[in-house]
Structure 1
Amino acid sequence: MSVPVPNAAPARAADASQAKPSILTVDDDPSVSRAVARDLRRRYGERYRIIRAESPESALEALREMTLRGEAVALILADYRMPMMSGIEFLEQAMDLFPMARRVLLTAYADTGAAIDAINLVDLDHYLLKPWDPPEEKLYPVVDALLEAWSTTENRPATDTRVIGHRWDPRSSEVREFLARNQLSYRWFMADEPEGARLLSAAGLDDTALPTVICADGTALVTPTDSELAAHLGLQTAPSGEFYDLVVVGGGPAGLGAALYGASEGLRTVLVERTATGGQAGQSSRIENYLGFPDGVSGAQLADRARRQATRFGAELITTRDVVALETNGSARTVRFDDGTSVDAHTVILATGVSYRQHDADGLEALTGRGVYYGSAVTEAARCADQDVYIVGGANSAGQGALFLARSARSVTIVVRAPSLAASMSHYLVAQIEKTPNVHVRTCTEVVGVDGTDHLESIRLRDNTTGDVESVDAGFLFLFIGAAPRTDWLGGLLARDQHGFILSGPDLLDSGAGQWPLDRMPHHLETSVPGVYAAGDVRSQSAKRVASAVGEGAMAVMLVHRYIANP
């Protein structure tokens, strides 16, 4: 439901400077700091707020305040040599606050080696040698290009979207996660705090109409669906055509890889995603074993780069469309949506990935979204500061979440049924966990219940070696358990294994689960329906790694070309 907000305009116009995105520069040398701020203000001061800091600590404090206020930061320039904290270390922390801001390192000629290393360490966009005189030749062209890239990033959000809700309301949590995963900035207000109450009053609403999202145009969306959010905040929700060469279902690493390579090789390509691109990998706080990023990259950054690459080559990316059926209509493959509409194509790549399995412990369902979360570690991290946090799961996603939350939480406890993490978690993560003092591991243990009134207050843990049950106080529980394929919507059209993963290529023939209809052998990733391919985690016997998913997406496109040329 949406309602007009007649009194919202004065609030937005109260301080025009606050609506400007910011450029922040930090250098401990006052003369250099003033010089770079002067040059930036001269060219960009009308469109951007120029913020100058003379220490990394004050710069980080300014960034934290802007994060809390929901402001946008377009560009951060940091000197390499600063006392107490180098420019690289500063930018690494700044990434967590504003991952979409472009990053520039200011360095002397002697430090260019460190600047080059920082390209991977902090996903550096550029480094500038000091001095940069004249700025018209050495500074402005670089900054112009970076600001253009930032401003034209797909789904660039309005900076004044505001969300009003309750702290422990499940739908409020889901709305915040949807906005964050789609790179849509927002300001969060508690309904029982003065500013939240003022906004609700301006919209003619009370605290029973929650969550409420106030958009840039003054429209208030009351308990909006994901589709309503997407439509009002500028995401593309419908394909522009009726027939394509390739429809990719699912926007995780495999789907993004397929869309990128499909579009770059001249195929009319559309990717359909039900929530947000990136999949489970997109929710990861840090992926450290992906080729080309020796010091890691966040899942959100990786997904954003892939999304921008795919759209630059001409792929359409459709969000908040739930695919409910796949049909064969002669030589066409039809993908049907939950609203009754459909799109046809020569070929389809299924890259729907997996979802976290639901835990059946007592009380969990009632407290989901009220302190109990499946995944979501990045979205909820700010609320976990100085809290005791528990994580269930022994795979990489659990380890990455634990290390990320450990930065601010008082303690993080990983609960795993196995006798150790070694069997299911990568060695590098196990080693990091062992070196992190506030991360603890409870092996041979499982959650058997949770308790709380309106939110999580305690967790019941059972020691499977002794059978003893212990109740521990906790405000947050994150579950990263198992992998359930999203394939129920396929019905009996495609052959699947006993766990629901899609059979393809040699596995399809070896299983005897499906009848292959053609004289030729199925392609390696081809399913039991010719012209339909499976890639990534949804495919039976896949490696369940980001790199392999991207590779399978690219490989599937090669096989699509082969199918189109010779069905």
Structure 2
Amino acid sequence: DGSRLPLVITPDGTALVEPEDAELAARVGLATTPTADFYDLVVVGGGPAGLGAAVYGASEGLRTVLVERSATGGQAGQSSRIENYLGFPDGVSGSQLTERARRQAARFGAEILTAREVTGLEVNGAARTVLFSDGSAVSAHSVILATGVSYRQLDAPGLAGLTGCGVFYGSALTEASACQGHNVYIVGGANSAGQAALYLARGAKSVTLLVRGPSLSASMSHYLVQQIEDAPNVFVRTGTVLDAAHGSEHLEQLTLRDVASGHTELVDAHWLFVFIGAAPLTGWLEGTVLRDGRGFIMAGPDLTPDGRPPADWDLDRPPYHLETNVPGVFVAGDARSESAKRVASAVGEGAMAVMLVHRYLEQS
């Protein structure tokens, strides 16, 4: 009757009404339950850092399980094209890169659990226990936190009601075909915004980047800036912010404001993509793992600015480079305070964290 959606019909004819993510994942053959109660390593998060950690952990003999709340790939998996990743001179889509990494981790024997939301972390003697939203848990000698970040929401009148109806956060892949021949606007001046602009420009009539700052060079890689300058249908409006979105059932117009003069302009627009940075997914670590003022996880030297170990640190050594204030719990990728926010560095940190896990286990 349309009042209870989504309705999913499985190949055997079973009707699932408003299924939970875990139920749907299990129906399509994805693993959602760990096969053991205890592992050498639990990796939380399935983006490049988590997948890198799973590949290196499993390939080096650690009993490894990776836990992901939705699908592996993270934000990188939604990127339309990554051109500066080592070994791919012609570029590669984020989904291709991360799917290869997922298969690689599975081939080495890492368990990959999807549709499992992690809600807490406990220290139980030598064990580190990861708690799930359904009340279950899994324990290990060590944990690597690779939870990544989520897209920040733009707070402007009219946007909330039009999200999904012409207004999108992050990935431009799924909506690209619908933008054919239309004028598209993108808010943001970092690499993800530039990659999306070039991807959408293949079919869109025009793509306009709205950038608050005076230029792209401060926040975007040089190669992307050059490609945007060379693209005939990609335009950049610096010193411009979005004041409001207008439309009834779909986005129809945007109100733009010049930062310097305060002058506003109403433009016709049916598609808007927002890339204004991201916030770390670390709220569930409150009271356990130290974070900075923005919620990013602190590790290594950041924990010992005065040369003294963090409070409650009971080992006779300082934390390892990617180790948090909880011994045996490490962080890798975008969730780490002052991280590079690049796919290559995230993968490298995942591998490095595994090396430090080995060192921790040898000394435990």
TM-fit CA distance, 1:298? 0.6
From 325, 334, 347, the equivalent of 1:528 is: 325
2:70 is aligned with 1:275: yes
* Partner secondary structure for residue 510 of structure 1: coil
Query: 1:555 corresponds to which residue?
Result: 352
* Partner secondary structure for residue 471 of structure 1: strand
Separation (CA, whole Å) in 1 of partners of 2:28 and 2:182: 33
2:347 is aligned with 1:347: no
TM-fit CA distance, 1:455? 1.9
Separation (CA, whole Å) in 2 of partners of 1:424 and 1:513: 34
Query: 2:9 corresponds to which residue?
Result: 214
Number of residue pairs aligned between Structure 1 and Structure 2: 362
Separation (CA, whole Å) in 2 of partners of 1:287 and 1:507: 30
Q: Deviations over 1:86-131 (max 9, x none)?
A: xxxxxxxxxxxxxxxxxxxxxxxxxxxxxxxxxxxxxxxxxxxxxx
* Higher alpha-carbon deviation: 547-556 or 473-482: 473-482
Give 1:229-244 correspondences, 5 Å limit: 229-244=24-39
TM-fit CA distance, 1:513? 9.5
| One-letter amino acid of the structure 1 residue matched with residue 9 of structure 2 | I
Identity value in percent: 69
Separation (CA, whole Å) in 1 of partners of 2:21 and 2:205: 33
Instruction: Structure 1: state its 5+ residue gaps.
Output: 1-205
Query: 1:40 corresponds to which residue?
Result: none
Asked if the contact 2:297–2:324 (Cα under 8 Å) also holds between the matched residues in 1, the reply is yes
| One-letter amino acid of the structure 2 residue matched with residue 396 of structure 1 | N
Asked if the contact 1:332–1:347 (Cα under 8 Å) also holds between the matched residues in 2, the reply is yes
* More contact order relative to length (CA 8 Å, sep ≥ 6): 2
Separation (CA, whole Å) in 1 of partners of 2:187 and 2:335: 22
TM-fit CA distance, 1:215? 2.4
Query: 2:253 corresponds to which residue?
Result: 458
Separation (CA, whole Å) in 2 of partners of 1:329 and 1:414: 50
* Partner secondary structure for residue 259 of structure 1: helix
| One-letter amino acid of the structure 2 residue matched with residue 477 of structure 1 | L
| One-letter amino acid of the structure 1 residue matched with residue 48 of structure 2 | P
| Structure number with higher helix proportion | 1
Separation (CA, whole Å) in 1 of partners of 2:150 and 2:83: 22
Separation (CA, whole Å) in 1 of partners of 2:206 and 2:72: 31
TM-fit CA distance, 1:565? 1.0
Query: 2:234 corresponds to which residue?
Result: 439
Asked if the contact 2:211–2:239 (Cα under 8 Å) also holds between the matched residues in 1, the reply is yes
Query: 2:187 corresponds to which residue?
Result: 392
From 496, 502, 505, the equivalent of 2:300 is: 505
Separation (CA, whole Å) in 2 of partners of 1:536 and 1:553: 7
From 79, 82, 86, the equivalent of 1:287 is: 82
Give 1:90-489 correspondences, 5 Å limit: 206-489=1-284
Separation (CA, whole Å) in 2 of partners of 1:480 and 1:443: 15
Report which of the two structures shows the higher radius of gyration computed on alpha carbons: 1
Instruction: Structure 2: state its 5+ residue gaps.
Output: none
Separation (CA, whole Å) in 2 of partners of 1:383 and 1:229: 27
From 492, 496, 500, the equivalent of 2:287 is: 492
Separation (CA, whole Å) in 2 of partners of 1:444 and 1:270: 46
Asked if the contact 1:496–1:513 (Cα under 8 Å) also holds between the matched residues in 2, the reply is no
Separation (CA, whole Å) in 2 of partners of 1:434 and 1:528: 45
Asked if the contact 1:253–1:279 (Cα under 8 Å) also holds between the matched residues in 2, the reply is yes
* TM-score, normalisation: structure 2: 0.96
